[in-house]
A and B are shown apart, each in its own frame.
Chain A
Amino acid sequence: MHILLVEDDPTVRSFVFKGLKEAGHNVDQADNGKDGLYLAISEKYDIIILDRMLPGGIDGLNILETLRGQKNNTPVLLLSALSEVDDRVDGLRAGGDDYVTKPFAFSELLARVEALGRRGNADAAPETTITVGDLKLDLLTRDVQRDGQKIDLQPREFRLLEFLARHAGQVVTRTMLLEKVWDYHFDPQTNVIDVHVSRLRQKVDKPFKTSIIHTVRNAGYILRTPQD
Chain B
Amino acid sequence: MAQERHHEADITASQKKRAFHVRKGRWPIRSAGLNFALAYGVIFLISAALFLSFIWWSSNNLLDNHVRAFIETDAQELREHWNYGGPPALSDAIEERLEQNVDDDALYLLIDRYGRRLAGNLPGWPASITRINHFYEITIRRYSFTTPAEFKAYNLTHGYKLIIGHDIRGRYLLGTVITRTLIWCAVMIALLAFGGAWVVRDLFRRMVGSIARTASAVASGDLSHRIALTGSETDLVAEPVNTMLDRINRLMEGVRQVSNAIAHDLRTPITRARNQLEDALSSANSTEALRSAVDKAICDLDHITGIFEALLRIAQIEAGSRRSAFTMVDVNDLLSNMAELYEASAEDAGLKLVLDVSPLPALHGDERMLQQALANLLDNAIKFSPAGSELTLSAHPVLAITPKGHAASTPTGIEISVRDHGPGMNKEDILRAHERFFRAESARHTPGSGLGLSLVQAVTGLHHGKLTLTQANPGLKVTLFLPLTPAASHPHALTDPVQNHD
Interface residues of A (CB under 8 A from B): 83-86, 89, 103, 105, 156, 182, 184-192, 195-196, 198-199, 218
Q: Indicate whether B325 reaches chain A with its CB closer than 8 angstroms.
A: yes
Q: Which residues from chain B contact A86 at a C-beta distance below 8 Å? A: 322, 324-325
* A187-B337 contact in complex given A84-B316, A85-B322, C-beta closer than 8 Å: no
- Can you spell out 19 A-B residue pairs with CB atoms less than 8 angstroms apart? A84-B312, A84-B313, A86-B322, A89-B325, A103-B301, A103-B305, A105-B298, A184-B371, A184-B375, A185-B368, A188-B375, A189-B379, A189-B447, A190-B345, A190-B379, A190-B382, A191-B348, A192-B342, A195-B345
Residues of A within 8 A of B305 (CB): 103
Contact B312 A191 (CB under 8 A): no
Q: Considering residues A84, A86, A156, A187, which has the most beta carbons from chain B within 10 angstroms of its beta carbon?
A: A187
Q: Check A182–B337 contact: CB distance below 8 A.
A: yes
Interface status of B388 (Cβ within 8 A of chain A):
no
A83, A84, A185, A195 — most chain B CB neighbours (10 Å): A195
A192 touching B341 by the CB < 8 A rule?
A: yes
Given contacts A85-B368, A182-B337, list 13 more A-B pairs with CB under 8 A.
A83-B309, A83-B312, A84-B312, A85-B322, A86-B325, A187-B309, A188-B375, A189-B379, A189-B447, A192-B345, A195-B347, A196-B341, A199-B344
Give Cα A190–Cα B313 distance, bound, in whole angstroms. Answer: 19
Please, what's the 1-or-0 string for B375-407, where 1 marks a CB less than 8 Å from any CB in chain A? 110010011000000000000000000000000
Q: Is B126 part of the contact surface with A, judged by Cβ < 8 Å?
A: no
Query: How far does the alpha carbon of A113 sit from the alpha carbon of B448 in the complex, in Å?
Result: 31
Q: Does B452 contact A (CB under 8 A)?
A: yes
CA distance A78 to B451 in the complex (A): 28
- Which of A84, A188, A192, A198 has the largest number of chain B CB atoms within 10 A? A192
**Chain B interfacial positions (CB closer than 8 Å to A):** 295, 298, 301-302, 305-306, 309, 312-313, 316, 322, 324-325, 337, 340-342, 344-345, 347-348, 368, 371-372, 375-376, 379, 382-383, 447-448, 452
Closest chain A residue to B372 by CB distance? Answer: A186
Q: Measured between alpha carbons, how far is A85 from B324 in the docked complex, in Å? A: 11
- Per DSSP, chain A at the interface is loop
Report the tally of A-B residue pairs with Cβ distances under 8 A.
58
Assembly CA distance A188 to B371 (angstroms): 10
Contact of A187 with B371 in the complex, beta carbons under 8 Å: no
CB A182 to nearest CB in B, in angstroms, measures 6
A192 to B353, CA, bound (A): 14
CA distance A84 to B308 in the complex (A): 12
Known contacts being A84-B316, A85-B368, A103-B301, is A189 close to B341, with CB within 8 Å?
A: no
Report yes or no: B348 in contact with A195, Cβ–Cβ below 8 A.
yes
Distance of A103 Cα from B344 Cα, bound (Å): 29
Chain B proximity of A67: nearest CB distance (Å): 27
Q: Which 10 A-B pairs have the closest CB atoms?
A: A186-B372, A195-B344, A195-B348, A189-B379, A195-B345, A192-B345, A190-B379, A196-B344, A190-B345, A186-B375
- Chain B residues within an 8 Å CB radius of A186: 368, 371-372, 375
Query: Which A residues are in CB contact (< 8 Å) with B383?
Result: 189-190
A52-B486 Cα distance, complex, nearest whole Å = 36
Q: Which B residues are CB-close (under 8 A) to A191? A: 345, 348
Chain A residue contacts of B313, Cβ below 8 A: 84
Cα–Cα, bound, A105→B295 (Å): 12
Query: When the two chains form the complex, which single residue of A85, A184, A187, A196 contacts B306, counting CB atoms closer than 8 Å?
Result: A187
Task: Establish whether residues B301 and A188, one from each chain, have CB atoms under 8 Å apart when the complex forms.
Answer: no
B residues in contact with A198, CB < 8 Å: 348
B340 partner, pick from A83, A156, A185, A187, beta carbons under 8 A: A156
Complex: A77 Cα to B345 Cα, angstroms: 31
Q: How far is the CA of A105 from the CA of B447 in the complex (A)?
A: 21
CB-based contact B344/A85 at 8 Å: no
Closest chain A residue to B346, Cβ basis: A195
Instruction: Kindly provide the distance from the CB of B30 to the nearest chain A CB, expressed in whole angstroms.
Output: 45
A111 to chain B, nearest CB (A): 16
